[in-house]
Structure 1
């Protein structure tokens, strides 16, 4: 890594997609050494900004300068399945030269290819070990690795290259708890410039500062995500106080304007009466009338201006209060009485080898967390219960209306509007009823008429959740597969709000422990070859994965 000062600077950067949709306009940003957590609502441009800095996109206008080399881990890592591990790590040619020299081929070309990197294999293996990939041979192919291992392998390649600037976009997506813990350690030990986009609270608690991208501008908060939340809460409390003060000022100015108008009306009536009675010379009365009119006009203008200024102050105060609206719904039809059987699985063996031995039952409004390493079969178990995948043997019976929300959110028809998608699940509900219910999921007015294919990640998740929760009959067993993947932090809060109103049984497969703890899990189950009980403490420490 170079010793020159490293930084990223965006100067008056604008970017729009080919269809003319703007993302950034006149954007300014500068990042120096340290770990920066870049957060913001879905669709605000976080991933686009990383792609611009990485050079994968070009700004429409403005300049981006980076002092030093760049390493970039995109949100969706795709690796050629036929590529070898050492090829992905970028050391294949160096290894080949090393092996050739060791075999006696001490040519100038081999020494040039190797350079001073005599310990290339040791460094590569140490980096793989750091990320929990110690068992992976450098000659293996990518096709033999799991999706989570592929992400870690790509990160290992970046760490080996030792870039001055490291850009990470949602790096913990699709990682199990053990892999996340390895990544947390790698982030915590990073000493260069790092910018990471993430919704993972535990990861964001390992950064040095938070950059909040909102309305095309960045606000900086020193410290980690917990510090950011504390500072933001103070800001919002002050902003809400200012709104109350501004609202009071507007009401006072309205009263004073009304009182002034009443007084002016009385003066006008008095002047008219004096004029009609002709108690003073006409010229004097005319002068008084003109003076009164001028005074009344000035008085009216003064109060109107004060009211306008008060309203402007109110508008400014309201803008300072964040509108990360909360979902508030009432779902009594999802209620399941305590003790009622919801699910029964008997001697269930899944398509990919995992098993549920004996009889496993879910009763009443239990909230069950399903945890386990990548590839352990969690998704297969949910899909089997939902009837989408047949078991190898045994059976899974649901005794109540059941809905399943997969990771890919493919329950929505992209060509249909949000309202039309919900109508497919609730065919007997009227359009007015559907729209009233959708308003509780923050799809009000024209937002309900947007095509599902045009929604951001967070909006799409909200629409899919609305379609399932508002379905007929109402689901009394709801199964969610990695629901917080690709959701911004506001959307995760909205999901938590929605699940507070849900009164049925809940089965959630997730690696996001803070989220699971926030939704009131009553039973923790580990799928690791077989299904067995575990504890929240054991999950947090992921002992079962060591």
Structure 2
């Protein structure tokens, strides 16, 4: 990297899980000042690498060094719900010491606790306000806050601590569009070293460089995500040309080797004919035969070596071309005919969120985007439709088989294998058929026997999607709650490709606008305090969603 100072260094870094699964072997990494976007396929070790840098995991080999302290926002944030906000921010002891001093207790230990941070209350409130948490009191408990607010609270704690190195792992997962803008502003203003793992395109457009983690090594690209994609496209086009050139060279070398064999066979037949007819002295013919054999051996060695070299160049060229597998699904039984009834809501009042007055229908294979602020009740509404929660009043009638992919991906039994999990949803399907279908979701061979609890976030998403879509009967209404949270950029593309084959009705609750816009959404709905309603005709769904 062309950075004048290195703030994170990984030297010959190796790491394996207790079961022996190797994640890194001899990884070299040097991260300098500025904002770095760390990307890569699900399961390649991005989150593990951040945890290693943060000191939460110990490497099995090599060394990690950082210039200054490290702050880490993990992907799956779990805060103690009994904590007060000031405890979660890490300033409770300082506030207590300040309170004691103001009350007249001038013991030295209180001054030592406060240090130079006499304005800690004001700094905390300013930081919370910057992140859109101005209404959150320092004495409130974490249990009173939404998931998105907890993410912002943890980020506020990191901003207050002012670490030299900040590591963010999928920070926008639980954030609505309003909260994402707050986080974007914080990232833009961050003065130190920042490494962010994310599938959020808008966030990755704000980084200074991209670090592409692939097969245990990092490749660097200058600029934002768009610059990376342009550079990668040029790279892959050149790699494709090199493959074609190498293939042509292999074909040529094979022809030349075959021609050489033909010529040598002709010489051999001619020599044998001369020997049989005894047209030359025996000694001369013997010398000719020896010379021909030596020449034939040299030709074979030369052409065989050329062919081997050409094949090696072809292998190297093929290795440079990315050929990531795609999810392949065929779901003929999910089809919903235009106009047929799928879902009816009548004066529905869910356990949380607004009351939906009157009657609301979903008919035919509509693709609906459900948007709204964190805490608006989107997840509760989907769980009510799925039959997981009973409404306070009203009805949610689903007229077709339904599949619900929850945000927390808790559908699978962690102790059971993927085959066993899918069999729970499709008890009448044979083991061989389940394995064949799982292979279409990129779980092939022994991978289908892995316990669900060992899967990465993206793998778990694919497994959950497979279990739902392979269920018997196949769902004709598929509801997805923040489906891109656990996916990398390639995973988001895979999901989009997979959903193209789905012919049923679709309801997607998401704050990921580029993803929603790629699905061919036919209807944009907003859930707010007034209920559920369509975006204003002619109004941009993106703008409408950001305003609520």
1:537 aligns with 2:540: yes
Moved more, 97-106 or 257-266: 97-106
The corresponding residue for 2:87 is 87
Q: Relative to 1, partners in 2 of residues 1:75 and 1:356: Cα closer, same or farther, differing over 3 Å?
A: same
Distance (Å, rounded) in 1 between the aligned partners of 2:196 and 2:502 = 33
Distance (Å, rounded) in 2 between the aligned partners of 1:262 and 1:443 = 48
Task: Report the Cα offset of residue 107 of structure 1.
Answer: 4.6
Q: Relative to 1, partners in 2 of residues 1:415 and 1:164: Cα closer, same or farther, differing over 3 Å?
A: closer
Q: Relative to 1, partners in 2 of residues 1:276 and 1:333: Cα closer, same or farther, differing over 3 Å?
A: same
For residues 343-382 of structure 1, the aligned pairs below 5 Å read 343-382=343-382
The corresponding residue for 1:293 is 293
The SS at the match of 2:540 is helix
Q: Relative to 1, partners in 2 of residues 1:192 and 1:419: Cα closer, same or farther, differing over 3 Å?
A: same
Distance (Å, rounded) in 1 between the aligned partners of 2:444 and 2:272 = 53
Moved more, 434-443 or 10-19: 434-443
Task: Report the Cα offset of residue 434 of structure 1.
Answer: 4.2
Task: Report the Cα offset of residue 432 of structure 1.
Answer: 5.2
The corresponding residue for 2:517 is 517
Task: Report the Cα offset of residue 509 of structure 1.
Answer: 1.1
For residues 21-32 of structure 1, the aligned pairs below 5 Å read 21-32=21-32
1:333 aligns with 2:333: yes
Q: Relative to 1, partners in 2 of residues 1:363 and 1:453: Cα closer, same or farther, differing over 3 Å?
A: same
The corresponding residue for 1:137 is 137
Distance (Å, rounded) in 2 between the aligned partners of 1:506 and 1:359 = 19
For residues 429-440 of structure 1, the aligned pairs below 5 Å read 429=429, 433-440=433-440
1:256-293, Cα deviation, whole Å (9 max, x unpaired): 21222122222212221221111111111111111111
Does the aligned pair in 1 maintain the 2:483–2:510 contact within 8 Å?
yes
Distance (Å, rounded) in 1 between the aligned partners of 2:423 and 2:109 = 68
Task: Report the Cα offset of residue 538 of structure 1.
Answer: 4.9
The corresponding residue for 2:18 is 18
Does the aligned pair in 2 maintain the 1:538–1:544 contact within 8 Å?
no
For residues 241-320 of structure 1, the aligned pairs below 5 Å read 241-320=241-320
The corresponding residue for 1:208 is 208
Task: Report the Cα offset of residue 407 of structure 1.
Answer: 2.2
Task: Report the Cα offset of residue 350 of structure 1.
Answer: 0.6
Does the aligned pair in 1 maintain the 2:10–2:64 contact within 8 Å?
yes
Task: Report the Cα offset of residue 116 of structure 1.
Answer: 2.7
Task: Report the Cα offset of residue 415 of structure 1.
Answer: 4.7
The corresponding residue for 1:472 is 472
Does the aligned pair in 1 maintain the 2:461–2:486 contact within 8 Å?
no
Task: Report the Cα offset of residue 486 of structure 1.
Answer: 1.5
The SS at the match of 1:41 is coil
The corresponding residue for 1:52 is 52
The corresponding residue for 2:461 is 461
The corresponding residue for 2:443 is 443
1:52-111, Cα deviation, whole Å (9 max, x unpaired): 111112222222111112212122222222222122222223223333333444454443
The corresponding residue for 1:494 is 494
For residues 112-127 of structure 1, the aligned pairs below 5 Å read 112-127=112-127
Distance (Å, rounded) in 2 between the aligned partners of 1:148 and 1:542 = 16
Moved more, 296-305 or 449-458: 449-458
Does the aligned pair in 1 maintain the 2:131–2:152 contact within 8 Å?
yes
Distance (Å, rounded) in 2 between the aligned partners of 1:144 and 1:456 = 29
The corresponding residue for 2:98 is 98
For residues 59-208 of structure 1, the aligned pairs below 5 Å read 59-208=59-208
For residues 361-440 of structure 1, the aligned pairs below 5 Å read 361-427=361-427, 429=429, 433-440=433-440
Q: Relative to 1, partners in 2 of residues 1:70 and 1:424: Cα closer, same or farther, differing over 3 Å?
A: closer
Does the aligned pair in 2 maintain the 1:90–1:157 contact within 8 Å?
yes
Distance (Å, rounded) in 1 between the aligned partners of 2:106 and 2:438 = 72
How high is the TM-score relative to the length of structure 2? 0.93
Distance (Å, rounded) in 2 between the aligned partners of 1:114 and 1:443 = 54
Distance (Å, rounded) in 1 between the aligned partners of 2:150 and 2:484 = 20
1:191-231, Cα deviation, whole Å (9 max, x unpaired): 11011111211111111111111111111111111111111
Aligned residues, how many?
Answer: 542
1:121-175, Cα deviation, whole Å (9 max, x unpaired): 1111100000000011112222222222111111111111111111111111222
Distance (Å, rounded) in 2 between the aligned partners of 1:39 and 1:69 = 23
Does the aligned pair in 1 maintain the 2:526–2:545 contact within 8 Å?
no
Unaligned 5+ runs, structure 1: none
The corresponding residue for 2:33 is 33
Q: Relative to 1, partners in 2 of residues 1:468 and 1:142: Cα closer, same or farther, differing over 3 Å?
A: closer
Distance (Å, rounded) in 2 between the aligned partners of 1:54 and 1:487 = 22
Does the aligned pair in 2 maintain the 1:178–1:542 contact within 8 Å?
no
Moved more, 77-86 or 240-249: 77-86
How high is the TM-score relative to the length of structure 1? 0.94
1:368-396, Cα deviation, whole Å (9 max, x unpaired): 01112222221221122122222211111
